[in-house]
Amino acid sequence: MKNNSDLLALLNEELSILDNSVNVLNYSYNKCLTIGIKEKYQPAELESFESLTGRFSRLSDIIIQKIFRLLDALELESSGTIIDRLNRAEKRGLIASAETYKQIRFLRNSIAHEYVQEVIEDIFAEVLKYVPDLLYTVERIKTYAKKLI
How much is the pTM?
0.91
For the chain, the distance separating the N- and C-terminal CA atoms, rounded to the nearest angstrom, is: 19
User: Any idea where the domains of the chain sit in the sequence?
Assistant: 4-148
Please give the angle made by the CA atoms of 35, 40 and 44, to the nearest 5 degrees: 55
Distance CA 42, CA 50 (A): 12
Measured from the Cβ of residue 137, the count of other Cβ atoms closer than 10 Å reads 24
Rounded CA-CA distance 133/108 in Å is 14
CA distance 137 to 76: 21
Instruction: Give per-10-residue mean pLDDT for the chain (149 aa).
Output: 80 94 98 95 95 97 96 87 95 96 95 72 94 97 91
CA distance 14 to 66: 7
Dist. CA 101–CA 78, nearest whole Å:
19
pLDDT at residue 45 in the model: 96
Domain 4-148 matching CATH 1.20.120.330: the answer reads yes
| Amino acid letter for position 86 | L
What pLDDT, on the 0 to 100 scale, is given for residue 99? 97
pLDDT score at 114 = 67
> What per-residue confidence (pLDDT) applies to 116?
59
Total residues found in the chain within this entry: 149
